Amino acid sequence: MIDQIRPGQLAQWLQSMRAHGEPMVLDVREPHELQVASVSADGFTLLTIPMGTIPTRMNELDPDQPIACLCHHGARSMNVAAFLQSHGFAHVANIAGGIHAWSAELDPSIPVY
């Protein structure tokens, strides 16, 4: 089962995962989306890999590292989380609501689009 965490719950999830390694937020949005709205790494590693390139760039990810996937509203990131889990990644989560919810719950300075 993939954890569904709201942006407001992310800090707690990250803390709970520290026993498994340095947590990462994996932003799977496209480059043009990143130009509109992005998050700042605060207490986690941030890596951006567009969803379509995940299969060819999986070597950049550690299957034992906790990874919370982020996209615009949560659908693409859920697909990536499921894909990673099916390939042996042990600690994956989906940031439900995506960057849109991140703006509403954590940082209203992040533009919504």
100 part of a folded domain:
yes
Tens-digit pLDDT profile for residues 19-44: 999 999 999 999 999 999 999 898 89
Q: How many domains does the chain have?
A: 1
Q: Which domain holds residue 63?
A: 3-105
84 part of a folded domain:
yes
Q: What is the pLDDT of residue 111?
A: 95
Spans in the chain with pLDDT lower than 70: none
111 part of a folded domain:
no
The CATH code of the domain that includes 76 is 3.40.250.10
Active site (catalytic) residues: 71
35 part of a folded domain:
yes
56 part of a folded domain:
yes
Q: What is the pLDDT of residue 23?
A: 93
**Euclidean distance between the first and final Cα of the chain, in Å?**
30
Q: For residues 4 and 25, what is the distance between their CA atoms, to the nearest angstrom?
A: 14
Establish how many alpha carbons lie within 13 A of residue 70's alpha carbon, considering only the half-sphere containing its beta carbon: 25
Q: Where are the alpha helices (DSSP H) in the chain?
A: 10-17, 31-36, 54-57, 75-86, 98-105
The total number of residues shown for the chain amounts to 113
34 part of a folded domain:
yes
62 part of a folded domain:
yes
Q: For residues 96 and 72, what is the distance between their CA atoms, to the nearest angstrom?
A: 10
110 part of a folded domain:
no
